């Protein structure tokens, strides 16, 4: 083969790589943009919007970045659901882009790069998280950008790049505090590899200082509010996470990232411990450390999502080479990987009417699991405007003088935030709750009149109401909250006096 032939082959390979990269990124953008307005706002999106209207450097159960984005979107684009979700969609496309580029950097051929990108593109976890505005949508991006900069250093870039790692990590902390876990994994990777020599220089430590400086406003907010996020995490560990069997976490890796993608990420782990991946071994140890910590702490399966782009990229190297001379096997595997991903997309993307999806799941898997256990996130995108309308009707049934001083207390942040977004057109007062950050905002002391309790827990009903009267029941067949009771409490103690008893810093059924 002549030198010109080699150069021609290299040009052809580069064209293939560009086609792979552009195609996968466009597909990621296109699918989510096309479906962004298919259902409605999710409970958490209502919460982020409400938090965004109450700008702060912290909130009880999350860091401040996503509420800032929600507030900015609402200010610029009003009620546009597509624009609300656009940051998550862009973050997902960027994560696909970086994963493909990481695979290329690690040494994957064009097919291996495609394999890494397809694995991320069609994994149920990423399909769901990038379809709505959510904190977890940005984690893979921050983790992968930080890993990319570390790869720069491993490839010989200046140690001053640790300052850039610190900037990325600091922004990641403002998105979600689990960016700390990336730091733990990176430190383990440094200690266990020749990268430990960098610890004798000031740059990694200065990078950590930069991250801490960027995150310091949130730390100051936490200290000023008695560390509510620490309390929230502790209660999560004592309740919901304590009940998750460790084997379920690993079973979840198969479900959340695709059954047929398992060979890719297993090969990706192996890649970092071969001669081919030796240079980047610190990143492989980062992944292993994260998975060990998540297993020990009984984490939810999707908590590992920000770490998987690394092993998808590494797997692209190994399987890309293995399939190079096995064209028939390559075609079969690719078709099966794509086919299974598209099949699972029916329960992660709003492609069909949700009732149709549930009926199909009930027929096929009803003997094993309730359909709503697989589609609960999508059910949480229904029923909120109808719930607010029902509350408005109950509010209108009050005497005019009562409406002047009445207040609304809800069972959780979803109901309160939905009322606060849609309630203006009905003339509803601000709704509040003892749930999460709404607890810190407290009741409206200027409205001491009757209380409408929306979907309260039995404990809250007992604390607030002396003689509760149910005045409405709002039913929605598809909504996660399919039956919402509304109670009227005319006789009640001052809400401020009982507010500490309503404090709930726990997600899920434990409330």
Per-residue pLDDT reduced to its tens digit, 23-44: 999 999 999 999 999 999 999 9
Give CA–CA dist 437/430, Å, rounded.
14
The reply to whether 327 and 433 lie within a common domain is no
> Which of 350, 376, 402 is the endpoint of a domain?
350
Same domain, 404 and 500: yes
Of 290, 324, 350, the position where a domain reaches its end is 350
Q: State residue 507's pLDDT score.
A: 77
Structural domain total, the chain: 2
pLDDT score for 511: 42
Give me the pLDDT at residue 217, please.
98
Domain assignment present for 361: no
Q: Are residues 309 and 424 in the same domain?
A: no
Identify the CA nearest to 456 among candidates 498, 497, 399: 498
Question: Are 327 and 390 part of one and the same domain?
Answer: no
Contact yes or no for 298/288 (Cβ under 8 A) = no
pLDDT value, residue 10: 73
Question: How high is the pLDDT of residue 210?
Answer: 98
Whole-structure pTM value:
0.94
Whole-number percent of the chain with pLDDT over 70: 98
- CA pair distance 164, 167, nearest whole angstrom: 5
Nearest residue to 102 via CA among 199, 15, 21, 193: 21
**Residue 472 belongs to a domain:** yes
User: How is residue 55 written in tokens?
Assistant: 């700008």
Within this chain, do residues 29 and 99 fall inside the same structural domain, yes or no?
A: yes
Indicate if 345 and 389 belong to the same structural domain: no
Please check whether residues 260 and 323 belong to one and the same domain: yes
List the strands of the sheet with 407-410, edge to edge: 431-433, 407-410, 451-454, 483-489, 469-475
Q: How far apart are CA 48 and CA 135, in angstroms?
A: 10
The ranges of the chain with pLDDT < 70 are 1-7, 9, 508-511
- Residue 493 domain-assigned? yes
Angle at alpha carbon of residue 479, lines to 427 and 249, rounded to 5° = 125
Say whether both 318 and 465 belong to one domain: no
Regarding whether 409 and 321 lie in a shared domain, the answer is no
Q: How far is CA 454 from the centre of its chain?
A: 27
Structural domain for 407, as ranges: 384-510
- 32, 122 in Cβ contact below 8 A? no
């Amino acid at each position: 083969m002549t030198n010109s032939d080699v150069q021609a082959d290299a040009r052809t390979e580069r064209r293939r790589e560009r086609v792979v990269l552009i195609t996968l990124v466009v597909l990621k953008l296109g699918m989510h943009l096309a479906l962004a307005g298919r259902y409605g706002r999710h409970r958490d999106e209502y919460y982020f919007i409400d938090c965004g209207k109450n700008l702060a450097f912290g909130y009880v159960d999350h860091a401040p970045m996503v509420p800032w984005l929600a507030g900015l979107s609402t200010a610029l684009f009003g009620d546009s659901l597509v624009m609300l979700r656009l940051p998550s969609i862009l973050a997902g496309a960027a994560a696909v882009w970086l994963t493909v580029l990481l695979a290329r950097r690690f040494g994957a051929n064009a097919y291996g790069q495609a394999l890494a990108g397809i694995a991320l593109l069609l994994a149920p976890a990423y399909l769901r998280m990038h379809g709505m505005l959510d904190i977890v949508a940005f984690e893979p991006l921050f983790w992968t950008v930080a890993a990319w900069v570390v790869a720069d250093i491993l490839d010989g870039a200046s140690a001053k790049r640790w300052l850039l790692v610190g900037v990325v990590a600091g922004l990641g902390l403002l998105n979600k505090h689990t960016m700390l876990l990336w730091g733990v994994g990176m430190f383990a990777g440094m200690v266990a590899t020749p990268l430990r020599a960098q610890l004798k220089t000031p740059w990694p430590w200065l990078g950590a200082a930069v991250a801490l400086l960027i995150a310091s406003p949130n730390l100051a907010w936490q200290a000023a509010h008695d560390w509510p996020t620490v309390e929230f995490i502790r209660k999560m560990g004592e309740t919901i996470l304590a009940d998750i069997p460790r084997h379920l976490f690993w079973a979840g890796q198969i479900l959340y990232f695709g059954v047929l993608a398992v060979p890719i990420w297993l090969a990706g782990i192996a890649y970092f411990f071969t001669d081919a991946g030796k240079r980047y071994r610190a990143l492989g140890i980062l992944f292993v450390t994260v998975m060990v910590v998540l297993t020990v702490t009984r984490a939810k399966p999707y908590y590992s999502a920000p770490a998987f782009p690394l092993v998808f990229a590494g797997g692209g190297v190994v399987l890309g080479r293995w399939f190079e001379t096995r064209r028939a096997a390559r075609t079969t595997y690719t078709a099966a990987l794509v086919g299974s991903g598209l099949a699972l997309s029916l329960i992660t993307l709003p492609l069909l009417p949700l009732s149709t999806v549930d009926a199909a799941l009930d027929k096929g898997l009803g003997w094993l699991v309730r359909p709503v256990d697989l589609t609960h996130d999508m059910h949480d995108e229904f029923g909120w405007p109808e719930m607010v309308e029902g509350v408005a009707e109950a509010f209108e049934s009050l005497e005019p003088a009562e409406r002047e001083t009445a207040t609304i207390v809800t069972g959780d942040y979803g109901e309160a935030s939905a009322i606060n977004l849609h309630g203006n057109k009905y003339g509803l007062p601000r709704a509040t709750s003892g749930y999460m950050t709404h607890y810190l905002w407290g009741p409206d002391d200027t409205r001491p009149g009757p209380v409408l309790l929306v979907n309260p827990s039995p404990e809250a009903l007992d604390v607030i109401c002396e003689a509760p009267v149910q005045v409405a029941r709002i039913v929605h067949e598809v909504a996660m909250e399919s039956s919402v009771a509304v109670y009227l409490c005319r006789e009640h103690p001052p809400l401020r006096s009982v507010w500490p008893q309503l404090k709930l810093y726990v997600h899920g059924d434990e409330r």
